Amino acid sequence: MTDKINSAPAKPIQGVPLPIHTYDDIVALGPCYDPAERRLCTRDWHGTALDVLRAEGVSSKDQLWLVLREAWIPAYTLHEFAVWCAEQALARVAPDPRSVRALEVKRAWLDGLVTDEELADAAWAAAGTAAGAAAWDAAEDAQCARLIAMLEEITR
């Protein structure tokens, strides 16, 4: 029997405010540094993911580290953002069609149009492709390294 479940998170309701967090919430996550000591915020700071993302002087890497979690951003938006990031990465290479298809299926899953099983199938197909390509790349890298060593040996 085919799994007909779609467990995609619900779309956020327009106009519902983002959760408000505090400096203590940030510190509880165990950042590498104290943002108050670096004067990135005060110890009485409170704000939303948007406030963090708009903060001056904080690296994008640190902003994303903090807000890319369901306590800060709705799950649906996190999934949607992940798909966008993957599309941006694939736009920089000649992607395998299975990777492109996996993103199409993920968008359809978010819209409730495909099942969890269909999403998993598409993801596994893309992952198998990526793993195979990575294995071949590693093998070719090792082959090149060995050939370099052999040629260096005979040219000494």
Per-residue model confidence as pLDDT tens digits over 88-135: 988 888 888 889 999 999 999 999 999 999 999 999 888 877 666 666
133/130 Cα distance (integer angstroms):
5
Residue 80 has pLDDT above 90, yes or no: yes
Residue-wise pLDDT tens digits, 19-53: 999 999 999 999 999 999 999 999 999 999 999 99
pTM of the model: 0.79
67-71, 72-76, 121-125, 139-143: the lowest-pLDDT one: 139-143
Residue 77 has pLDDT above 90, yes or no: yes
First-to-last CA distance in the chain? Answer: 66
Q: Where are the domains of the chain?
A: 21-67, 76-154
Of 129, 123, 127, 89, the residue nearest 106 (C-alpha): 123
